[in-house]
Amino acid sequence: MRRIHLPVWLDGASKPRAGTFVILFSLEAWSRATLITLVPLQAHQLFGDAQSVSVIYFSISIAGLIAAMVIPILVHWIRRRWAFSVGAVLMLVAVGAYSTGIPAWFAFGLACQVVATAFLEIVMNLYVLDHVPRSEITKFEPKRLLFVAAPFTFGPWLGVWLAEHMGPHVAYITVGFFVVMMACFFWFLRITDNPAVSSPLKRPPNPIKYLPKFFKQPRLRLAWGLAIGRTGWWILFFVYAPIYLTTNGYSNETAGLIISLGVGSMFLASLWGRLGQKYGIRFLLTLGYGLTGIVTILIAVFHGTPTIAVGLIVASAFVAVIIDGAGNVPFLRAVHALERSEMTSVYVTFRHTSQLVTPGIFAIALGMFALPAVFAVGGVACFGMAALARYLPKKL
C-alpha cells in the first residue's frame, strides 16, 4: 500500500488546480524576495547616493517596459513553457552578474532581473486566467498572497544576512537554488502532460495593437492605474526604506530585518481579502490607500527621529498590505473571457510602468530635496489612489 502514496501525491500535485499555481508563485517569490533588500543596498554602495540609485532603476526599467510589450509575441513563437524557461535562465544570469560587485555588471544584472520578471509574470498570469474559474478569482488572490507571505517575510532579511555573515556569493547561490527549484517544478508539470502548461496561444497578443482597445475600457484602465499605485508604493518601501535606515546608522542586516518585519504583514492578506469579499473591493482599496498615505507621510514628518520612523516604516507595510488583499481582482473581474491573453499582455505593463515612473519621480524629488521627500511624495500619491478607487463598482 505504501508504494501507491507517492504516485498518487505526484498525480494530485500535477493537476491544473489553483494550488498548483500557488506553489509556482511561491517558488518564484522566494527567488525575488531574497534579492529585494540586498539589491538596493548593494546599488547604494556601488553608486553612492539615493538619487543615483533612482536614475539606475529608472534607466533599467525602460528595458522592462519594452520587454513587457515584446514578450507576448515571443510567447506565441516559442510557447509558454520555453518563455518561462527563458525567464528562469535570465534570473540565473542576473544573480551571476550581481555577484561580481562591478557597477556595470550590476546594472546588466538588474536589467536581466527586470526582463526575467516580465517573462515569468506574463506566463503565470496567463495560466491562472486559463485554469482558475472567474468565479474563484476573488478567493484565489488572497490564497496566493498568503503563500507568498513567507518568502516576502523572511526573504529580505535572509538575503542580507547571508551576504553579511557568509558572503554575497552564498546569498546569490541561494537565490539560484530557488530559481532552479522553480524551473524543476514547472517542468515536472510539463513532463506529466499537465494541460496547465501545454496550452498554446492561438495568436500572438501584440500589446501595442491592443493598447487602444484596453484603454478604451474604463474598468481595465482603472485596474491598471490602481495596480501602478500599489506597485509604486512597494518600490518606495523596498528600495528607499533600506537606504533611509542605513544612512541613519542601522546596519544592512538590521535594515533587512526591519523590512522583513514589515512584510510579515502579508500573512494578513487573506484576512483583508475576506473583508473585501464581504464589503467590496472598492471599500478595501479606499481604506488601504488612505491609511497607507497617512502613515507614509508621517515617516517624512518624523524622519529626524529614526526610532519613531522605524516604527512607522513597519506600520506602513501593515496598512499597505490591505491594498494587496485585493490583488489583481479589479482586472481579473473586468477582463472579458475572449480577450484574456490580449488584455493580460497590456495589463502586466503596470509593473514596468511603475518601475519606470516611480524612480523617475523620486529622482526629480531627490534632486531638490533630501531623502525623506520620497515618503512625502509617496503618501500624497496614495491619497490620489484612494480617490481613484472610489470609481470601482460597488459590487466588485
Is the residue at 85 inside a domain?
Answer: yes
Are the beta carbons of 222 and 368 closer than 8 angstroms? no
One-letter amino acid for residue 271 of the chain = L
The string of DSSP codes covering 201-257 is -SS---HHHHHHHHHTSHHHHHHHHHHHHHHHHHHIIIIIHHHHHHHTT--HHHHHH
- Say what the pTM is: 0.79
Is the residue at 50 inside a domain?
Answer: yes
Distance between CA 210 and CA 230 in Å, rounded?
A: 23
The per-residue pLDDT for 77 is: 78
Write the CB contacts of 82 (distance below 8 Å, at least 6 apart in sequence).
none
Q: How many helices (H) and strands (E) does the chain have?
A: 19, 0
Distance between CA 155 and CA 81 in Å, rounded?
A: 26
Look at residues 292, 272, 302, 284 and name the one whose alpha carbon lies nearest to residue 384. 292
Are the beta carbons of 107 and 56 closer than 8 angstroms? yes
The per-residue pLDDT for 107 is: 92
One-letter amino acid for residue 132 of the chain = V
Per-block mean pLDDT, blocks of 10 residues, the chain (396 long): 40 54 86 90 87 87 78 76 89 94 92 88 77 65 75 88 91 94 84 44 62 87 92 92 91 91 81 77 91 96 93 94 82 76 78 86 89 94 94 78
Distance between CA 118 and CA 70 in Å, rounded?
A: 10
Domain range for 30: 10-197+205-389
The per-residue pLDDT for 346 is: 82
The string of DSSP codes covering 252-280 is HHHHHHHHHHHHGGGGGHHHHHHHHHHH-
Is the residue at 395 inside a domain?
Answer: no
* Nine-digit cell string for 86: 527563458
The per-residue pLDDT for 308 is: 95
Is the residue at 2 inside a domain?
Answer: no
Is the residue at 396 inside a domain?
Answer: no
Largest CA distance in the chain: 71
Is the residue at 310 inside a domain?
Answer: yes
- How many structural domains are present in the chain? 1
Q: What is the CATH number of the domain that holds 377?
A: 1.20.1250.20
Is the residue at 230 inside a domain?
Answer: yes
